[in-house]
Amino acid sequence: MEKQWKNLNVSLRQLAVTVEERYSRRNLTVKETALGDGYSIRVILTQLRVQGVMSIVIRGTPDDFTIETKATEHEDSTIKAGLMTTIFGGGSLVLATIKKREALEKLERDFWGTIEETIRSLTSSKA
């Protein structure tokens, strides 16, 4: 999902720090990378058997920026293996993958549910 904001004068650095702190406080692994025109933040789910990642990319200028999120999972081979071995207990692989997908979707929904307030609190924070 991607959304754009204009004419708010928001510090992209402070926005990235705020997002990173939010997920760090929830004991999730967070990795931030500075980009030429913004920041990339990866929130890594590690409590599940198969790892999942939500990517948050903030790009632009304080007065015209976009935020894009993408939840990714390494599931294809796990689901295929689970389906092929269902009679031998592979169903647990499918179940773990479904639970991971649900956790990633919830993480992404929570992000979009709180980002507007975060941006409002940082309006006119500049640079």
Give residue 46's domain range.
2-122
Give the pLDDT confidence score for residue 82 in this predicted structure: 45
Give the pLDDT confidence score for residue 83 in this predicted structure: 47
- This prediction's pTM: 0.78
Instruction: Write the DSSP string, the chain.
Output: -EEEEES----HHHHHHHHHHHHHHTT-EEEEEEETTEEEEEEEE-SSSS-EEEEEEEEEETTEEEEEEEEEE--HHHHHHHHHTGGGTTHHHHHHHHHHHHHHHHHHHHHHHHHHHHHHHHTT---
Tell me the pLDDT band of 66, cut-offs 50, 70 and 90.
very high
For residue 20, the domain's CATH number is 3.30.310
Q: Quick check: is 127 in a domain? A: no
Q: What is the pLDDT of residues 81-104, one digit of tens each?
A: 544 555 555 566 667 677 778 888
Give the pLDDT confidence score for residue 63 in this predicted structure: 94
Tell me the pLDDT band of 35, cut-offs 50, 70 and 90.
very high
Q: Quick check: is 112 in a domain? A: yes
